[in-house]
Chain A
């Protein structure tokens, strides 16, 4: 890894949040002692292997399972004709469930890669061989997987935040000295984690136990209980270590099918989703086509911001990539319109993927602002400063804290922005044209009610139980530090247990809300525990446990614009003869509240920025129009940045406090990716004089764009 961070661990109080600590489970992870859901051994474990549809639309005529059932080791072939019925008519944490939970409930095929059978066998190899031998016959219908903003099926969904309007947009555009009006596109992108989705299910003394890899064990347990009409207390989901999630690890077919098979066979069954299968089964980021219109006075003051974002969803579920929401807290403007539109196609349902909405939305709007700066003859940072709002530009609400400009000031200083020649296409170093670019980042500060239990043990240690998920972010370590700080004890005396639905309700690891939500509950419990301990007396053998629930406190939070902000900087080289773009350095300065553990926080920021680089230059799933399925659905075909693509990436932060906030922690999981692709695209323009409005900025696109390349 060539990414380098700027600040090394500095001496700090031994038990304070704010000093840098390696992960408490780090040694277990690097030695292999930490076990993941797909590799934990169980006695009598059977293995399920998925069979997916090869057509994009139609129905199943037959699943010819008889020959397969005779194959070695095969225990069962589950499909729509014999699977247990589930009740999908419920409202879960995120509303009505994605109808993928209706797996094996009907004969309809809504996309390539829909599960049509699960072969269960004594070994994973036997299950796979039988699954690959299984013949499924279909009645095929014509499909439509062609996404564009001009698709006649496009509509504006009902629901909050789909369309926001303020002022007279057309009048302000007409009165503007400078207008930018372009369409920006981003392709279908995937969040395949290092660790595949895997779940083991078994019945144990009347309880259903699932060992899973997820972003919220309570969430999964709750939905499984509803689906299988079980008493919520009879379902336990655990997920101790998670090798990446990024929005993809919620309720998916592997858990459901493991439960079905375990129930039918009355033995433990594990289902693992393979790398190729995840491309249709675990969600993805929709492609987007976004028209942005900006109108400004000669001095750069915005009169109009219009952001029309298009994305796709499946025919069976409405998921909207809300790219148009990015600009709502960002810039003052007399008129504002932002609308998210969607079209239903014969494709899998997209889902939340790191910075849903903000990642593609920032590419479009922050690219457009760079184009506006060019038109106004202004420095891009000065343009943003000119339009800095006092209150929420659309909502009128006060900001809880807003330190975007502070991030820009610090970033510009460290990046050397002041020395930048604004002219495009004038810097050359050997075969490389060089350029620099910048863009803003933001992500909302979200919090969800959580419960936590903190136990003062008789041996002087403390045990924290909170149903958090550490998806690789370092959440377990951050919670250890938060508890230790609140308890005022060395962190070695604090043991944090997470990833167990029996620990009670808690926020999921998503929306950058985890540490804020769980940390709040832990602090409340610690405060009460310390009050009890202050009364004196011995600690009984079972310890003293205090439970907290932040539901009321979360509900009482004042309405404000709560966001993290950031300033992204990038320098690129573009080979004019080959179209290759290489990022030379990146810097991100963030204003993201209290940073609990600088070491892992920096990893989060740098990881997000790296993903932004990958989004700018590499990532793109290719959908074959003829079959409706992917071409090259694996990590050889789906390119993301390799180590050699990742240069020096620095991430740091500025002071960002809100005295009124009960937690102070804002959440940092997503903001690192936001704006990073725009900063790179803006740098490519600065290098070559050519705007790239379609991601990824592939060599063929750079070559075909012409312009300064002929220089």
Chain B
């Protein structure tokens, strides 16, 4: 087997020192994605810095009524946290929609954000992939792409981000906190993932050697009535072909506030800003929901085999917002 180093960090400065000293170091959380990719040779780190024992495993209510989620909180713990379930139920639903119990017990919040696409070409060293090997080409564009991106993709890469959790986080304006040897920093999730452009191998705006320490959710009363729906090709243990996180506050039949984010349609969790703008202040009707979805999906660029995702996302917007509206009126 290929040899690599392994160090277990006990505090954040120690982890940062290890990461700073080895340019080919990678942070090891639960390893549920990274270790798989190491086995297949897609990832070849020289050093793994295990951060699971760092004191970043707490979920705390912030002073302003939001939540601060430590980077090493496991997906399992996140999903059952009473404050998460009460304040951001779609986040708990999203986490539970992903993977399996065993994987959720291992997977961490920080690692979840940094997981790689499950595009079959990316995972297969015998095939070209611009994300894995810049400049080698993207065979998915003309090949197997029925679960590839319809929004924000380019001819250089049409892979989708696989996270469920990230979709709910995107809907709720999550902010990613990190540390580097130089100090601390923050990135709104909206700015965390880079546009695909011609550089699909560059995925996040995290500075080199940075360690994610927490994810902060600002207070969002609208999120208390929220839901996550994941559509996939089998009932469990599959990545989404389309998913949606939705939160809705309807007052007297009028949309007072709405949050919408899509999964499995782009290289990152996709906040549906255009749909939100179209809905806010307007009637909470199926027609308005559909029109809002159309506003968001007007930018969709489909390939021969993934055009169904436009229909799927439109239907999901209507279905979830209708359900939330009906719930509110009960």
Contact = CB atoms under 8 A, between A and B. Distances in A.
A622 B143 CA distance: 10
Contacts of B41: 132
Contact of B234 (A128, A431, A617, A626): A617
B319 interface: yes
A577 B319 contact: yes
Nearest to A124: B1
A580 B231 contact: yes
Contacts of A698: 146, 233
A618 B234 contact: yes
A266 interface: no
Contact of B139 (A125, A128, A577, A627): A627
Given A700-B308, A703-B308, A703-B311, A645 B143 contact: no
Contact-residue size bin, chain A (C-beta under 8 Å from the other chain):
35 or more
Contacts of B316: 577-578
A400 B124 CA distance: 52
B235 A645 contact: yes
A639 B143 CA distance: 18
B86 interface: no
Contacts, number: 101
A125 to B, nearest CB: 4
B127 A645 contact: no
B241 interface: yes
A129 B2 contact: yes
Nearest to A576: B315
Interface in A128-177: 128-129, 132
A633 B231 CA distance: 22
A624 B235 contact: no
A643 interface: yes
Contacts of B242: 578
Contact of B144 (A631, A642, A643, A644): A631
Interface string A622-645: 101111010111101101111111
B102 interface: no
Interface in B40-62: 41
Nearest to A704: B308
Given A125-B1, A700-B241, A629 B235 contact: no
B123 interface: yes
B163 to A, nearest CB: 15
Contacts of A622: 120, 144
B308 A643 contact: no
B142 interface: yes
Nearest to A580: B231
B238 interface: yes
A132 B144 CA distance: 25
B210 interface: no
Nearest to A634: B123
B101 to A, nearest CB: 11
Interface string A696-708: 0011100110000
Interface string A536-569: 0000000000000000000000000000000000
Contact of A699 (B142, B231, B305): B231
A582 interface: yes
Contacts of A627: 126-127, 139
Contacts of B121: 624, 631
Interface in B116-174: 118, 120-121, 123-124, 126-127, 139, 142-144, 146
Interface string A29-64: 000000000000000000000000010000000000
A128 B1 contact: yes
A624 B318 CA distance: 35
Contacts of B115: none
Among B124, B127, B236, B306: residue with most chain A CB under 10 A: B124
Nearest to A126: B1
B127 A639 contact: no
Given A54-B126, A579-B308, A631 B234 contact: no
Contacts of A618: 233-234
B235 A644 contact: yes
A639 B308 contact: no
A132 B39 CA distance: 11
B330 to A, nearest CB: 15
Interface in A609-661: 617-618, 622, 624-627, 629, 631-634, 636-637, 639-645
Nearest to B320: A577
A602 to B, nearest CB: 23
A626 B308 contact: no
A624 B1 contact: no
Contacts of B126: 54, 112, 627, 629
B215 to A, nearest CB: 26
B202 interface: no
Interface string B310-326: 01100110110000000
Contact of B236 (A431, A629, A643, A703): A643
Contacts of B144: 622, 624, 631-632
A573 to B, nearest CB: 11
A643 B100 CA distance: 11
A125 B2 CA distance: 9
Among A582, A629, A640, A642: residue with most chain B CB under 10 A: A642
Contacts of B236: 642-645
Nearest to A133: B2
B149 to A, nearest CB: 15
Given A578-B315, A639-B238, A624 B139 contact: yes
Contacts of A642: 234-238
A134 to B, nearest CB: 13
A629 B126 CA distance: 9
A187 to B, nearest CB: 12
A624 B137 CA distance: 14
Contacts of B234: 617-618, 639-642, 644-645
Contacts of A637: 118, 120, 123
Contact of B124 (A128, A580, A631, A699): A631
B59 to A, nearest CB: 27
B236 to A, nearest CB: 4
Contacts of A582: 235
A618 B236 CA distance: 12
A129 B318 contact: no
Contacts of B235: 582, 642, 644-645
Nearest to A430: B323
A639 B2 CA distance: 29
A310 B270 CA distance: 43
B243 to A, nearest CB: 10
Contacts of A634: 123
Nearest to B146: A700
Interface in B229-277: 229, 231-238, 241-242
Given A631-B120, A700-B308, A577 B315 contact: yes
Nearest to B127: A627
A703 B309 CA distance: 9
A245 to B, nearest CB: 24
Contacts of B238: 639, 642
A620 to B, nearest CB: 9
Contact of A632 (B120, B241, B311, B319): B120
Interface in A573-589: 577-580, 582
A625 B308 contact: no
By Cβ-Cβ distance, the 9 closest A-B pairs, closest first, are A632-B120, A644-B236, A631-B120, A644-B235, A577-B315, A700-B308, A125-B1, A631-B144, A642-B236
6 contacts: A579-B312, A617-B234, A627-B126, A629-B126, A644-B237, A700-B308
Interface of A: 54, 112, 125, 128-129, 132, 431, 577-580, 582, 617-618, 622, 624-627, 629, 631-634, 636-637, 639-645, 698-700, 703-704
Interface of B: 1-2, 41, 118, 120-121, 123-124, 126-127, 139, 142-144, 146, 229, 231-238, 241-242, 305-309, 311-312, 315-316, 318-319
Given A577-B319, A639-B238, 10 more contacts: A132-B41, A578-B315, A578-B319, A629-B126, A631-B121, A642-B238, A645-B236, A700-B146, A700-B305, A700-B309
